[in-house]
Structure 1
Amino acid sequence: MTANDYLGALTGVRSGKRSYYPEYVRTAERLERAVGALDRISRALVRTGEGPRALVEAVVRAAADHVQADWLLFALADGALRAARPRFLLLAGENLVEDERLFPPDALAHLRILRTRPWEAGEPTGSGVRVPMTLDCEPVGGIAARPAAGMEVADTDLAVLRVLANQAAVALHNSFLVHATMRLRGRTEQLSEAAEQQARDLAARNAELQETQRRLIGVMQRQALDDERHRIARELHDSVTQDVLSAGMMIEICRSDLTEPDADLAAVREKLTEAKALTRHAVERLRAAIYALHHNESEPPGSLPVLLERLSTVHLPTDLEVGVTVLGEPVPLPGEAEHSLLRITGEALFNTVMHTNATRARIRLRYLPDRIRLSISDDGDGDPGQLRRTLRLASATNLAGTHRGLANMRARTEELGGTLAIRRSRIGGIQVLLEIPLPLEAG
């Protein structure tokens, strides 16, 4: 059908001659009815936002009013516009019926065709009228009606019904999209609110976790210092006891020698000098031990450089100068890592105090982009080669005592994924050098 033929079917005008006045009158009446029907169609189809049911009811009433139907059926094909409800609706008089068991037999026959064979909706029918409903050139259902007795249904009326049916299909699809969009928007808002609440909860828990981690690191830092002080105290107790006993024995020998008439005063003076040296050595050890035990957990926690400064004073006797140098931008480390680095540094300093005659010790901490370099150097008379051999022997045979301390230092370094080296320091003694990769993960 061409555009002109379709317009002619809609208006019913086939001739403009006055000799066809009766037909002209009928055409004018049909045109008036068509305009009225289009008006009702437009009012029905703009009810998309009220939901599919309100739209279907409006379409059924507009179509039934146009053809003055005893009954009018609106039906969607099975599988088409799956979300639309109701799938079919019958208007009989003023009653809307959804139960097909209550349908008139002729309406039930049209329902089966529209639901199962919608492509036949446009074919001629023996009873009533029927028009297809299409969407994207595909049949999706149709409208069927039984006009009232004496009602002549012209091509114009069928064209109006087709327009109504097709526009109803588009409106139903749009209604589904509108309501789906509204549901999605509501769901999105709910999800957004839930996400914001979860973000707030996560931020609160993260703050609590950071505070707990800060406290835990502080406790571990204080524990590291306390462990080191206790170890030093035990070591110094043993060494001080030996010095005091040795000095006492020498003094007792001197007193016994002085009772002899021919006592060698020079020999006695030499022994007393040695006893004095032992006493002085014991006093220095005691002073360091007292200082270590005096500083307790009341001290505020600090970063690794600050803790190294504090640790250096724990080992400080009167004749040993300890300096700390920090290079680079300090980065926060896990508490376990700081604990291990403090213990290694403490062990190295204690070895310097106990086993060398060093007067200077230097702690150098350098932060590099991918690693930390920590060195402990002294100016004593230690032999790096001998210490390396001792370390290999201690690791191989699991020796105890001072040799075990060297093995513990290397074990702590390897636990951090780093390396430990013993070499000659630039100031003349021994240098213990550690390199630890970054970043370090909390254990």
Structure 2
Amino acid sequence: MRAESPAPLILLLPPPLPDPPPNDWKVNVNISLSDLLPLDAENATLVGRIFDPEANGPCVVVVDGTDIVDITGIEPTVSSLFERADLLSAVQDLENRPRWALTDVIAATVDADMSKPRLLAPIDLQVVKAAGVTFVESMLERVIEERAKGDASQAAAIRDQLADAIGGAISSVQPGTEEAARVKEILKAEGLWSQYLEVGIGPDPEIFTKAPVLSSVGTGESIGVLSRSTWNNPEPEVVLAVRSDGTPLGAALGNDVNLRDFEGRSALLLTEAKDNNASCAIGPFIRLFDDSFGMDDVRELDINLRVEGPDGFTLEGQSSMKNISRDPASLIEHAYGDHHQYPDGFVLFTGTLFAPTQDRKAPGAGFTHELGDTVSISNPRLGALINKVEHSETAHRWEFGIWALIQNLRQRSLL
């Protein structure tokens, strides 16, 4: 009997790395060293990522004075770095490692200079989660979106109606309490109950996935809104970095870009409203919890927002973590536990108090982004996250995914 021929060998070749973007993707924003770093930078432990063209891949970096230092030789990803028990000591091992001046990296980032190291979002393999409706003011704005069915011109009248019906009494209600249950029954009787009030003052918060792994953009890059959206806004937030055992390790700034018209038409359009190309920005760095900064400091942060439009329009606002309805530790417990694990860790957007209502185009029309808006989200303890608004369809395409990262790290003998 003739022996069977061996099965053919099939080689699964990794995809080629994406071509670098054209230089017309420069964002033309001004970012200084003082913008990027916390006021107490000399006491802060700041971890981030850059893309190094010499290595042809991402590198894990730590801020050292006015330099950033490549510590990819210690751990190849931010995710694996955060799993180390000796994290705070590991990020101090900076001798004889590649370093660059931060001013040069900032300049290359905003110029989209592919020949030089440039900043990336400070996370890699972590899942990007978000908590919504965690502040009373933003909760009421979600109710307004729902009742307006995505029509911005109806928002002002509905806002006045809700203010008359609810007043300020709801702002002191603690979610999940007996008092919250009584308020719920009153609002239902008045015909004012909403799914957003349910997650705002009910026992369970809204927890959703904001963006795919590796898709977030960093400071100095474009942020995206869909060209079909006519009512959208930035959402300035604190983003917590959490390792795989549920321990929070640090915090960064985030922009949970949102399409109000999409979500207002139907809550089932949340993915279309929240998750688009370049619609998730995190940065500039993750400030690790240490003796100078911890969760109690996060609870006291005021997050500042400034939008400057090419039309001369200016919008300013603030979101204070002191006014959050649910403690950040509680939000982590709802995202992680026996019910859900994250082997590579996760980051968690904690929500925002700020919902812009300032008219831009016409009286009663409210706020929406215009192309070319510069959005600055800042805090003295975390630095500044600065981006320029572009359509998601024309912003830098997301092409460097998980397989590309694995391939790249193998080529560099880091795996």
Larger RCO (alpha carbons 8 Å, 6+ apart): 2
Whichever structure has more strand as a proportion of its residues is 2
* TM-score, normalised by the number of residues in structure 2: 0.23
* TM-score, normalised by the number of residues in structure 1: 0.22
